[in-house]
């Protein structure tokens, strides 16, 4: 056997192997397998699952209620924290082991508030992602698939909304929602209806008086545009492909073509984009709460806690630490997961690991 | 695209230029500099329009009034006036003015000061008329309703400005005719709204007359810079009558809203005097250096929650009373504010003539959870319509609101929503359509109850943010008490009537829930010798820097 022969056989063998593999695995199983090998992504996934559990069972896990406390305990800090943090907190702060991470300015347990804070941050992330996915995908698919005038009009609308600075738009919307809907007391008006829906949403999340619906609306209104553009772009390139033409030729309806042939082919990159944008929605809420436009007090939001903690940082550096740490961990988790998904779903990565 | 090497050059040049420019800005024009924080952009510098403490602070050093208040005794002392007298019937007040006060114009570009003529009685007459003129739209014109015809002119019932009860007898004598006798009038005569105003720049520049370069002033300081929302610089007026005793040449005032940021600037040596946020109190008290710089000064202000009685459910007296009795004021002061404030049982604070705050026999309101619960049960309120408490955006107000919100939830089981707005917007909201519960503080303009109960809550003559109907029988008793007190001359009788008015306001009707009497918690660098003004603005001209 010559060298060339051996090389050819090896090559052939590999090809056959690859062929075999493709037969038994589909895109998703393949992706899952690659995901499982990506340690960072798995860690991210585990953290996210833990956070979800924390949010669902917050009232069972948290040692105290997020509202309760005695202002006589304000800024109480456990001894172990004063030892590891800079400054001489022990000289003036109330020392007490009642709370594991200390209490805030009204004597509320910081740890409990951070735990309840997941009920703000996670829903914001997921609702942001869901609105982006649902509105963005439908909008983008219609625009891309039908093309022509429909596409022109729909995309110009996106361009117009895009032209607004996103943060400014959200701030304006939040200010508007909060002033005109938040205090609406007259039954029968649209504002009152929004206010009632908001109550239902708050109660469902276990955060009464939080004003969560308005945050969802503020973030959702701007979230879908990126996905819409992405979906449209993907579809534009797909719809001229032979297999689409073929199914059209045999008389498949538009809905069937979009749902059965186009969506499965573009769902990968879209899922990755959506996952990677979740930290963005969470940080938007944090920012809104930081500037006082987020959830209404006393609902604990990490953003509001960081904002309060940052103000107290010179005297009580422990205040900002825990919420900031939690925020950072959550961001990392979603980013790791998103990165992992991208690597796993990217067709060019197929068979590389 | 620039090559990489060239890019380096550009960056280097930019950095160099920036360094030089910032070096220029850093070079102070010599002399003694005081660095303070105004806390916010003053909404106006126009003395006719000022209503808030920041604007008043600026006007205090820019414009002289006929009278002023002594920082220690809170007595009326002469400023532009040298002496004053009142007619036997108490209606005509005559002020003799000093003849050596100059209007000055400062050109900030050429750094040149120019005299613009003497300050005369005509400038005062012009100022008072301008304040009362409805075209000026002064929110503080009602302070002058004591002056003859002022109310009719300001509300448009009388269009003849000349009929206003103020006239210049000669160039340096001004005479006020009042609607009714008022022993506290010399205090009003010196208020910013009644200070001399310069006709020429006002007519020349309109709304822009208070900008640097346009404005004429006559006080110890002149306006050099006003970078809106950022900073102001005041420089000493060399032609000021008492210029040789003014020690500080330049006052640089920043507008840092966040108390904690301003405090950090103080600790870094960027400010010479600053308020202490409650968060830092424990550390300041225990710190060997800061504790020596700390001073808690009395301040003639009351912090209160007002109820808009025209909006349900706040039209329910029992509910209002229940809310007021359920506020644990002492605990709020001890654990949240920490600045030596006193729990308030009345609207007017101690030190105001006619205020029952220091009278042990006056009951007022205090924390009484049992009574609050009973009142709530009697009120029949069951949680609808829901209540919103609104305050202007600030960490301090939010803490107080959260404390009280929790107290109401725990004591009464009532959920109250919190909302906040930025100061200018908030003032507009409160003045036009106050929320169910709104927060405000009231600071004395002159130390008399008239300035408190009548000017704030008289349903027709005051600002009446709670929308108290003049047809309400209790309101009518209140109106009669405050009007009679304003007209009475016997101090005992006046005090008795004001006690009655306060009783109706806070104890019987709970139109407001007073919360605490202010103090001013400040730290001052040891090289600044200062005074503490209990009302109005600080007198920077009386401060000294020994460095």
> Each residue of B169-191: pLDDT tens digit?
999 999 999 998 888 899 999 99
Q: Residue B23 above 50 pLDDT?
A: no
In a domain, B281, yes or no: no
In a domain, B284, yes or no: no
Collect all residues of chain A within an 8 Å Cβ-Cβ radius of residue B280: 314-315
Q: Would residue A139 be called left, alpha or beta, if left means φ above 0 and alpha means ψ between -120 and 50 degrees?
A: alpha
Number of domains forming the structure of chain B = 2
Q: What is the pLDDT of residue B1?
A: 44
H-assigned helices in B109-248 = 121-132, 150-154, 185-189, 199-205
Give the chain B residue whose CA is nearest to the CA of A175. Answer: B421
Which two tokens mark B30? 């010599």
Question: Both B339 and B215 in a single domain?
Answer: no
Question: Both B96 and B239 in a single domain?
Answer: yes
- Burial of B472 per CB tally in 10 Å (0-12, 13-18, 19+): middle
Mind listing the pLDDT tens digit for each residue in A239-270?
Answer: 888 888 888 888 888 888 888 888 878 888 88
Mind listing the pLDDT tens digit for each residue in B460-475?
Answer: 888 899 999 999 999 9
> DSSP readout, B466-493?
T---TTSHHHHHHHHHHHHHHH---HHH
> DSSP readout, A267-291?
HHHHHHHHHHHHHHHHHHHHHHHHT
State CA B375 to chain mean position distance. Answer: 35
* Dist. CA B425–CA B420, nearest whole Å: 10
Average pLDDT over residues A263-290: 84
Mind listing the pLDDT tens digit for each residue in A97-124?
Answer: 888 888 988 989 999 999 999 988 888 8
H-assigned helices in B380-459 = 395-412, 423-433, 453-457
Collect all residues of chain B within an 8 Å Cβ-Cβ radius of residue A106: 336, 399, 402-403, 406
Q: What is the pLDDT of residue A170?
A: 84
In a domain, B277, yes or no: no
Question: Both B217 and B302 in a single domain?
Answer: no
Question: Both B451 and B322 in a single domain?
Answer: yes
Q: What Rg, from alpha-carbon coordinates, does chain B have?
A: 25
Mind listing the pLDDT tens digit for each residue in B420-443?
Answer: 887 778 888 898 889 999 999 999
Q: Would residue B372 be called left, alpha or beta, if left means φ above 0 and alpha means ψ between -120 and 50 degrees?
A: alpha
- Burial of B68 per CB tally in 10 Å (0-12, 13-18, 19+): buried
* Dist. CA B103–CA B32, nearest whole Å: 24
In a domain, B274, yes or no: no
**How many angstroms separate the CA of residue B173 from the nearest CA in chain A?**
52
Return the number of other C-beta atoms located less than 10 Å from residue A42's C-beta.
15
Question: Both B501 and B540 in a single domain?
Answer: no
Q: What is the pLDDT of residue B442?
A: 92
* Dist. CA B130–CA B122, nearest whole Å: 12
State CA A59 to chain mean position distance. Answer: 22
Q: Residue B18 above 90 pLDDT?
A: no
Question: Both B532 and B511 in a single domain?
Answer: no
Among A92, A178, A311, the residue with its CB nearest the CB of B283 is A92
Q: Which of A110, A171, A123, A122 is nearest to A324 (CA)?
A: A110
Question: Both B301 and B246 in a single domain?
Answer: no
* Dist. CA B476–CA B243, nearest whole Å: 51
* Dist. CA B508–CA B495, nearest whole Å: 18
**How many angstroms separate the CA of residue A76 from the nearest CA in chain B?**
12
* Residue linked to tokens 């409650």: B278
- What is the domain-level CATH number for residue B80? 3.40.190.10
Q: Residue A4 above 70 pLDDT?
A: no
Question: Both B507 and B529 in a single domain?
Answer: no
Q: Check residue A48 and report its DSSP letter.
A: H
* pTM for the full predicted model: 0.82
**Beta-carbon contacts of residue B516 (< 8 Å; ≥ 6 apart):** B302, B303, B329, B332, B333, B337, B341, B342, B343, B344
The confidence band for B374, taking pLDDT boundaries of 50, 70 and 90, is very high
Residue B435 touches partner A, C-beta closer than 8 Å: yes
φ/ψ of B519, rounded to 5, equals: -130, 165
Cβ separation A182–B419 shorter than 8 A: yes
In a domain, B289, yes or no: no
Question: Both B456 and B539 in a single domain?
Answer: no
Least confident of A115-119, A261-265, B347-351, B542-546: A261-265
In a domain, B458, yes or no: yes
- What is the domain-level CATH number for residue B322? 3.10.105.10
- Burial of B130 per CB tally in 10 Å (0-12, 13-18, 19+): buried
* Residue linked to tokens 């840092």: B256
Rounded to the nearest integer, the mean pLDDT of chain B is: 90
Question: Both B261 and B351 in a single domain?
Answer: no
Collect all residues of chain A within an 8 Å Cβ-Cβ radius of residue B406: 67, 69, 106, 298
In a domain, B66, yes or no: yes
Q: Which of B29, B424, B523, B536 is nearest to B233 (CA)?
A: B29
The confidence band for A204, taking pLDDT boundaries of 50, 70 and 90, is confident
Domain that holds residue B141: 4-266+525-545
Which two tokens mark A120? 């703000």
In a domain, B393, yes or no: yes
Residue A303 touches partner B, C-beta closer than 8 Å: no
Residue A208 touches partner B, C-beta closer than 8 Å: yes
Give the chain B residue whose CA is nearest to the CA of A179. Answer: B419
Collect all residues of chain A within an 8 Å Cβ-Cβ radius of residue B331: 71-72
**How many angstroms separate the CA of residue B393 from the nearest CA in chain A?**
8
Q: Residue A353 above 70 pLDDT?
A: no
* Dist. CA A77–CA A75, nearest whole Å: 6
**Beta-carbon contacts of residue B340 (< 8 Å; ≥ 6 apart):** B296, B333, B519, B521
Question: Both B331 and B380 in a single domain?
Answer: yes
Q: What is the pLDDT of residue B25?
A: 41
Question: Both B385 and B511 in a single domain?
Answer: yes
């Amino acid at each position: 056997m010559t060298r060339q022969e051996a090389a050819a056989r090896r090559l052939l063998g590999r090809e056959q192997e690859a062929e075999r593999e493709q037969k038994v695995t589909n895109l998703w199983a393949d992706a899952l397998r690659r995901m499982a090998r990506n340690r960072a992504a798995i860690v991210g996934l585990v953290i996210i699952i833990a956070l979800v559990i924390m949010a669902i069972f917050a009232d069972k896990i948290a040692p105290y209620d997020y509202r309760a406390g005695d202002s006589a305990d304000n800024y109480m800090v456990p001894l172990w924290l004063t030892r590891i943090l800079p400054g001489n907190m022990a000289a003036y702060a109330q020392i007490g082991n009642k709370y594991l991470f200390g209490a805030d300015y009204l004597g509320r347990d910081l740890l409990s508030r951070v735990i309840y804070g997941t009920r703000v941050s996670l829903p914001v992330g997921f609702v942001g992602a869901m609105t982006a996915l649902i509105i963005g995908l439908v909008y983008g698919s219609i625009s891309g698939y039908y093309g022509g005038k429909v596409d022109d009009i729909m995309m110009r609308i996106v361009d117009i909304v895009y032209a607004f600075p996103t943060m400014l738009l959200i701030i304006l919307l939040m200010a508007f929602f909060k002033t005109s809907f938040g205090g609406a007391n007259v039954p029968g008006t649209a504002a009152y209806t929004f206010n009632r829906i908001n109550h239902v949403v708050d109660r469902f999340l276990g955060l009464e008086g939080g004003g969560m619906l308005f945050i969802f609306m503020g973030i959702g209104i701007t979230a879908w545009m990126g996905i819409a553009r992405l979906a449209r772009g993907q579809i534009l390139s797909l719809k001229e492909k032979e297999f689409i033409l073929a199914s059209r030729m045999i008389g498949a309806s538009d809905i069937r073509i979009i749902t059965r042939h186009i969506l499965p082919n573009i769902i990968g990159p879209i899922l990755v984009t959506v996952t990677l944008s979740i930290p963005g929605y969470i940080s938007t809420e944090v920012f809104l709460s930081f500037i006082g436009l987020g959830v209404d007090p006393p609902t604990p939001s990490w953003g509001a806690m960081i904002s309060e903690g940052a103000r107290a940082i010179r005297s009580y550096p422990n205040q900002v630490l825990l919420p900031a740490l939690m925020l950072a961990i959550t961001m990392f988790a979603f980013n790791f997961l998103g990165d992992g998904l991208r690597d796993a779903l990217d067709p060019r990565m197929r068979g590389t690991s | 695209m620039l090559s990489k090497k060239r890019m380096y050059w550009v960056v280097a040049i930019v950095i160099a230029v920036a360094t030089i420019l910032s070096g220029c800005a850093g070079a102070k024009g010599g002399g003694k500099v005081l660095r303070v924080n105004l806390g916010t952009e003053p909404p106006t510098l126009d003395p006719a329009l000022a209503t808030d403490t920041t604007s008043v602070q600026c006007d205090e050093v820019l414009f002289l009034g006929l009278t002023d208040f002594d920082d220690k005794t809170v007595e009326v002392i002469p400023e532009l006036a040298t002496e004053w007298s009142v007619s036997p019937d108490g209606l005509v007040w005559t002020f003799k003015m000093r003849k050596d006060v100059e209007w000055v114009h400062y050109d900030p570009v050429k750094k040149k000061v120019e005299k613009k003529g003497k300050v005369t009685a005509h400038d005062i007459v012009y100022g008072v008329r301008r304040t009362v003129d409805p075209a000026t739209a002064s929110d503080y014109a009602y302070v002058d309703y004591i002056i003859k015809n002022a109310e009719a002119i300001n509300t448009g019932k009388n269009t003849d400005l000349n009929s206003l009860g103020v006239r210049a007898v000669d160039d340096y004598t001004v005479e006020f005719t009042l609607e009714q006798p008022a022993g506290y009038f010399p205090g009003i005569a010196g208020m910013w709204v009644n200070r001399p105003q310069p006709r020429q720049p006002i007519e020349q520049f309109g709304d822009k007359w208070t900008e640097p370069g346009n404005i004429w002033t006559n006080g110890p300081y002149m306006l050099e810079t006003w970078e809106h929302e950022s900073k102001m610089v005041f420089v000493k007026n060399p032609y000021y009558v008492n210029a040789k005793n003014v020690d500080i040449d330049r006052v640089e005032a920043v507008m840092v809203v966040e108390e904690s940021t301003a405090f950090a600037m103080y600790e870094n040596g960027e400010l010479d005097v600053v308020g202490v946020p409650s968060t830092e109190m424990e550390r300041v008290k225990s710190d060997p250096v800061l504790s020596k710089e700390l001073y808690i000064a009395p301040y003639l202000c009351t912090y209160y929650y007002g109820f808009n009685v025209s909006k349900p459910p706040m039209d329910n007296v029992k509910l209002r009373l229940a809310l007021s009795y359920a506020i644990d004021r002492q605990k709020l002061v001890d654990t949240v504010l920490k600045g030596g404030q006193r729990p308030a049982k009345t609207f007017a604070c101690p030190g105001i003539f006619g205020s029952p705050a220091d009278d042990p026999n006056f009951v007022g309101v205090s924390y009484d959870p049992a009574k609050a619960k009973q009142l709530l049960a009697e009120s029949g309120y069951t949680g609808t319509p829901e209540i919103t408490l609104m305050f202007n955006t600030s960490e301090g107000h939010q803490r107080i609101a959260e404390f009280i919100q929790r107290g109401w939830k725990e004591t009464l089981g009532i959920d109250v929503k919190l909302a906040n707005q930025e100061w200018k917007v908030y003032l507009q909201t409160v003045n036009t359509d106050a929320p169910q519960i709104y927060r405000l503080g009231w600071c004395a303009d002159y130390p008399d109850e008239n300035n408190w109960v009548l000017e704030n809550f008289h349903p027709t003559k005051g600002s009446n943010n709670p929308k108290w109907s003049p047809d309400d029988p209790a309101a009518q008793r209140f109106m009669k008490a405050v009007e009679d007190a304003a007209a009475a001359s016997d101090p005992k009788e006046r005090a008795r009537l004001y006690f009655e008015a306060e009783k109706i306001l806070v104890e019987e009707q709970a139109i407001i829930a007073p919360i605490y009497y202010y103090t001013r918690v400040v730290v001052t660098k040891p090289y600044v010798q200062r005074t503490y003004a209990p009302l109005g603005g600080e007198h920077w001209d009386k401060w000294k820097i020994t460095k």
